[in-house]
Chains A and B, each alone.
Chain A
Amino acid sequence: MTYIFDGSLQGLLTAVFEWFERKPGKAVLKSTEIFQPEAFVESFTVATDAEKADRVWAGLQKKLKKDSLRKFYCSYLSEIPEAYHHLFQFCIYIFQNQAGSESNYGNEHVIAISKYAKSVEREKHRMEAFIRFQKTGDGIFYAGIDPDFNVLPLISNHFKNRYADQQWVIYDLKRKYGLHYNLNTVEEITISFSHGINKQNPAPVLMDESEALYATLWKDYFKSANIVARKNTKLHLQHVPKRYWKYLTEKAPV
C-alpha cells in the first residue's frame, strides 16, 4: 500500500489519520512529487484536511514531550522524501504504544527522526553562525541564503531577539521566500528581484557607505586571527564546508 500526500505538514498528519481509519496494514508514505505508480502496489491519495490534521497534532502533543515534538517538526523541514515516510511510521508507532516510546532508540523510525532532526538543527545553527548581513542604502540589513533544509521558520526567533533594533531581511534564494523584521514583528515576504541583480552580493552602489569599510576590517581581522604555524586545512574545511563560503564576507575574494 502506498499513501500519497501533497508534501505539506497538514497532509502528512492527515495521512496518519486516514491510516488509522482504514488500518490497511503496512503502508509507505510518498509525496506526489516523487510518487511513481507501481504495477502491483495499491495506492491511496490523501486529501489534506485541516480538521483531521489538527486532531493528529493534538494527539501527538499529548503523547510526546516538547523536545520530541521539535524533532518531529525539524525532520519535516528536512524535506527529505524518506523522512516523510519515517515520520508517518513514527506517528503510528507512537499512537500504538505507551507514552515514553519516543525514547526507544532501538526503533528504526525513532532513531531515523532523531538523525534527521540532528541534521536540520545543525543547518539551523550554521545559518545562525554563517549568515552575514550587508547594510543596504536604506538601512536594512540584508542576507541571501540557500540552506540545505527549510530552516527559516527555525531561525526567525533567534534573529528577532538578537537584532531587535535594526531592520533585517533574510531571504531563502532556493525556496524563494524570506523573513523581514520591521522593528516589531517578523513577516514572511517574497521579493521580485529586478533582472540581472546579484542576489547574494548586491552591487556596492546599493549599499550603505560604511559597508565596504567594515567588510574590509572584518577580512583583515580574519587574516590576523590566524596562526600560520598551526595551519590545519582539513579541520578548517570540516568546520566551514566550501558550500557555505559564498555567504562569508571573510571568504570573499578581495
Chain B
Amino acid sequence: MSDRIREKLNILADAAKYDVSCSSSGGTRKNTNKGLGDSHSSGICHTYTEDGRCVSLLKILLTNHCIYDCLFCVSRKSNDIKRAAFTVDEVVELTMNFYRRNYIEGLFLSSGIFKNADFTMERLLLVVKKLRLEQNYNGYIHLKTIPGASDELIKEAGLYADRMSINLEMPTEAGLKLLAPEKSHKDVIKPLEFVQQQITQFTADKKLIKHVPKFVPAGQSTQMVIGATPESDKDIMYTANAFYKNFALKRVYYSGYVPISNDTRMPILGTQPPLLRENRLYQTDWLMRFYGFKVQEILNDANPNLDVDIDPKLSWAIRNMQHFPVDINTADYKMILRIPGIGVMSAQKIVQARKFGKLRIDQLKKIGVAYNRAKHFITCLDSPYQLKDYQGTQIKAFILAESQSKYLKTDSNQMILF
C-alpha cells in the first residue's frame, strides 16, 4: 500500500513541478467551523527546494495521462514515461495529513486531460468538494481550470477554490501553434473571462446581499513558458500586460523552459534554462505592478529586449537621465519610487521621515536605501557638490564596476582564454 502511494506521489509531483505558481497569498478564508486550516493573507512558504523555489502548496497532478501532445510538456501523449493516477481519497488524505503537520499551506491540484475536459474537471471538483464539505478543510486550494470544461463545472469549482489558474503556455499565438497545434489562446481566454465575470458578479452581489459565498477569493493567475520559442521580451511583457489589464489577473508567471524533449523545434536537451532572462522578466513585472511603470517605458521598439547586465529599473534610469538627479527632500513619491536603489519600503519611509527635517546620507543608508547605486541619481541635504554631469553610460560603468552580479560568471559574453 505505502509503496504504491509513494510511487504515485513521485510520478505526479514530478509531473506537476513545471507549473511554477506556488503562491498561497490573497486568501481570506477563516477557520470558523472549528475545522482545519485557514488562509494567511500574505501566504507562507513552508520550505524551498534545492533550486531555490518555494514550496507552499502540495502541487500534484490528479493524473498524468493526457490526450494532448503538446511538445513543451512532459506529460504529452507521445512521451514514454510512467503514468499514474490518484484516487480522490488519496489526494484528500495526503492533503489533510500534510497540512496537519504544517508541511504545507494548501493544495495545488492540476491534471492531464483524460477522456475529455468535463470528465477531468468533474474529478478535480470531487476532490475539492470532499475537502471542503466532508473534511471541514479551510486551507488554501489552487485549482487548475481545464480549458473546454463547461461553465457550470467551472462556476461550481470557483465556490470551493481560493485561486484558479489556466496557463497561456506560450507568449504568442504563433508560438503556441508551433508547439501545440491543437491548442489556441482562445481556449484560455474564454474560461479566464468567464471566471473574471463571475468574480465581478459575486463582488457586486456582496455589496447588496450580506451572505454571498466566496468565489475564487484569491483571484486568477496564468503562466508563460519562456525561451522555448523565439519571442522577444517585448512580446512577452506586452502579452502579460494585456492579461493583467483585461482579466484583472493577480499574477503572471514566467517559467524558463527546461529542455525535456529532443524535438528540433525547441532548444536541445541539456541547454541551460534561461534563469537570468526569467529574473529580468519578473523584475519588469514588479516594476509594472508596484512601481508605477508603464510597460511601454521599459520595453518598446527601440528596446525590444531587456538588458542582461543591468536590471530594468537601472536601465530605464540611464536611458532617461533628464529626470535625474532627484531631490529626495522634495520630489514626488512616484518619482522617488523610480530611483534605482530605492524600493517601495524605503520610498515610503523617506516620504514620512522628511516631514520631520531634511534627510542626510547617513539617514538614507539607515532607512535601507542602496546608497552606492542611488547616489548617482539623487541629491539630499549633504550630497557632495558635483561639478561634472555624467552620462548614462558612464554611470552604468561605475555601477557595474562595483557590483558583483551573481549571474555574471555563467552568462559572460567575454571569452575566457586561459
The residues of A with any CB-CB pair to B shorter than 8 Å are: 101, 103-108, 111, 114, 125, 128-135, 141, 143, 158, 161-166, 210, 213-214, 216-218, 220-236, 238-240, 248-250
A227 and B278 CA atoms in complex are apart in Å by 15
* B330-365 Cβ-contact flags toward A at 8 Å (1 or 0): 000000000000000000011011111101100100
A141 engages B406 (CB within 8 Å): no
* Other A-B pairs, 11, CB within 8 Å; known A233-B52, A234-B406, A236-B50: A106-B353, A129-B46, A163-B37, A221-B13, A222-B49, A226-B17, A226-B50, A230-B52, A230-B256, A236-B49, A250-B47
Find chain B residues with CB under 8 A from A228 CB.
51
A128 engages B5 (CB within 8 Å): no
Q: Sort A-B residue pairs by CB-CB distance and give the 10 closest, nearest first.
A: A235-B52, A105-B353, A230-B51, A224-B13, A232-B52, A103-B352, A239-B48, A104-B356, A226-B49, A105-B349
B48 engages A131 (CB within 8 Å): no
Give me 24 A-to-B residue pairs in the complex whose CB atoms sit less than 8 angstroms apart, sorted by A's number.
Answer: A104-B352, A104-B353, A105-B350, A106-B353, A107-B356, A114-B349, A128-B40, A131-B102, A132-B103, A133-B100, A162-B38, A165-B34, A210-B97, A217-B5, A224-B14, A224-B17, A225-B55, A227-B18, A229-B273, A230-B275, A231-B50, A236-B48, A239-B48, A249-B103
B367 engages A111 (CB within 8 Å): yes
Known A-B contacts A125-B44, A214-B97; A229 and B258 likewise in contact (beta carbons under 8 Å): yes
B273 engages A128 (CB within 8 Å): no
A107 and B46 CA atoms in complex are apart in Å by 36
The one of A108, A226, A249 that contacts B101, using a Cβ cutoff of 8 Å: A249
Find chain A residues with CB under 8 A from B350 CB.
105
A165 engages B6 (CB within 8 Å): no
Instruction: Tell me the minimal C-beta distance from B51 to chain A in angstroms.
Output: 4
Find chain A residues with CB under 8 A from B360 CB.
106
A165 engages B102 (CB within 8 Å): no
B366 engages A214 (CB within 8 Å): no
B258 engages A239 (CB within 8 Å): no
B366 engages A108 (CB within 8 Å): yes
Find chain A residues with CB under 8 A from B242 CB.
none
Known A-B contacts A106-B353, A163-B36; A132 and B101 likewise in contact (beta carbons under 8 Å): yes
Find chain A residues with CB under 8 A from B9 CB.
217, 220-221, 224
A218 engages B44 (CB within 8 Å): no
Q: Does B136 interact with chain A (Cβ within 8 Å)?
A: yes
A218 and B2 CA atoms in complex are apart in Å by 13
Within 8 A of A (CB), among B23-60: 30-31, 34-38, 40, 44-55, 58-59
B101 engages A214 (CB within 8 Å): yes
A234 and B409 CA atoms in complex are apart in Å by 14
The one of B94, B100, B349, B366 that contacts A141, using a Cβ cutoff of 8 Å: B100
Q: Does B10 interact with chain A (Cβ within 8 Å)?
A: yes
Instruction: Tell me the minimal C-beta distance from B43 to chain A in angstroms.
Output: 10
A232 engages B51 (CB within 8 Å): yes
A224 engages B52 (CB within 8 Å): no
A220 engages B34 (CB within 8 Å): no
Find chain A residues with CB under 8 A from B247 CB.
none
Chain B residue nearest to A108 in the complex (CB): B366
Find chain A residues with CB under 8 A from B354 CB.
106
Q: Does B98 interact with chain A (Cβ within 8 Å)?
A: yes
Chain A residue nearest to B52 in the complex (CB): A235
A240 and B102 CA atoms in complex are apart in Å by 16
Name, among B37, B38, B103, B350, the residue most crowded by chain A CB atoms within 10 Å (CB to CB). Answer: B103
A135 engages B101 (CB within 8 Å): yes
B51 engages A239 (CB within 8 Å): no
Chain A residue nearest to B363 in the complex (CB): A106
The one of B49, B59, B356 that contacts A101, using a Cβ cutoff of 8 Å: B356
Find chain A residues with CB under 8 A from B59 CB.
225
Known A-B contacts A129-B44, A129-B46, A226-B50; A166 and B275 likewise in contact (beta carbons under 8 Å): no
B352 engages A230 (CB within 8 Å): no
Instruction: Tell me the minimal C-beta distance from A55 to chain B in angstroms.
Output: 27
B17 engages A225 (CB within 8 Å): yes
Find chain B residues with CB under 8 A from A164 CB.
31, 34-36
Q: Does B272 interact with chain A (Cβ within 8 Å)?
A: yes
Find chain A residues with CB under 8 A from B353 CB.
103-106
B6 engages A220 (CB within 8 Å): yes
A210 and B1 CA atoms in complex are apart in Å by 13
A238 and B359 CA atoms in complex are apart in Å by 32
Find chain A residues with CB under 8 A from B2 CB.
213, 216
A165 engages B272 (CB within 8 Å): no
Known A-B contacts A105-B367, A129-B45, A236-B52; A220 and B349 likewise in contact (beta carbons under 8 Å): no
Find chain B residues with CB under 8 A from A239 CB.
45, 48, 52, 54
A232 and B276 CA atoms in complex are apart in Å by 12
Find chain B residues with CB under 8 A from A128 CB.
40, 44
Chain A residue nearest to B98 in the complex (CB): A218
A148 and B273 CA atoms in complex are apart in Å by 37
A130 and B48 CA atoms in complex are apart in Å by 10
B50 engages A133 (CB within 8 Å): no
Chain B residue nearest to A103 in the complex (CB): B352
Name, among A128, A165, A221, A250, the residue most crowded by chain B CB atoms within 10 Å (CB to CB). Answer: A221
Find chain A residues with CB under 8 A from B5 CB.
217
A133 engages B102 (CB within 8 Å): yes
Find chain B residues with CB under 8 A from A238 CB.
52
